[in-house]
Amino acid sequence: MRGFILFAFILFSGFQAFTQVVLGGDQATKKTRKESVSDEKDSLTKRVPDGFSSVYLIANWSKTSRVLKENVGFYGDSLGTRADETSLNLWSYGIGIQNSINANWMWDGGLAFSRNGESYRFSEQDSTFSYKTYYSYISMPIRINYTIGKDIKFYLGAGLMPQIFMKFKQEQKWVYGDDNSGSETIETNSGYSSFVLSGLFNAGVMLNFGNGWSLLVSPEVRIQMTSSYMPQDSYIHKARAYGISFGLTRNL
């Protein structure tokens, strides 16, 4: 009887020790797995660039001009003096948000007040006539950019800019002889296409100040793909803008 009790005690003690080893091993395995997952998350976090999301405020200076063609068909007309129009330098302004897709790709989208235009000047002896024409839009640019760098980030991108027409404005000035001079401003928000679409191409650099703020400098090209005028107008008018944007970004 004593032998049986001793055997049972040894068997129970061994089973308890085995259970502790197994449970301890499982707990160690779980702990190792948790640490591995944590390490992976930390590694992923390190791979995501600083400033994963940011807002920006920009001002854009551009040399704007247009491609003007006769609207071939029933409504078409020769360009006449409009063939001599030249470029006009204008400022536009915008706000928006940037978001990193991964370590090297970023998209940005925003809202802008954008302008383009052209100018004309005629001079002969003691007479001159000139005008400056402005087309104003509320625009919604969206771009995809490839980026490299961290504290100094370089990027190259392209996108589209839908534009809602706001106003046409033309400032005219004339001088005829010594006593006849004057000026006139023509403004309207009708008679033009209510919506146009432009393509965007940009390159740039962002300098990170280390306190959540960055300076942005970005050369940009805007190419209008649809006409500014109505389908029944005498001309097809598509704007061009070659300029540079200056701005600030703030990390969120």
pLDDT score of 52: 62
Q: Can you give the residue ranges of every domain in the chain?
A: 1-47, 49-251
What does the alpha-carbon distance between residue 76 and residue 234 come to, in Å, rounded to a whole number? 4
CB 52 within 8 A of CB 106: no
Instruction: Kindly report the number of other CB atoms within 10 A of residue 144's CB atom.
Output: 13
pLDDT score of 72: 86
CATH class of 49-251: mainly beta
pLDDT score of 74: 78
Q: Percentage of the chain with pLDDT > 70?
A: 79
pLDDT score of 209: 92
CB 243 within 8 A of CB 60: yes
pLDDT score of 126: 84
Residue numbers of the chain with a pLDDT score lower than 70: 1-52
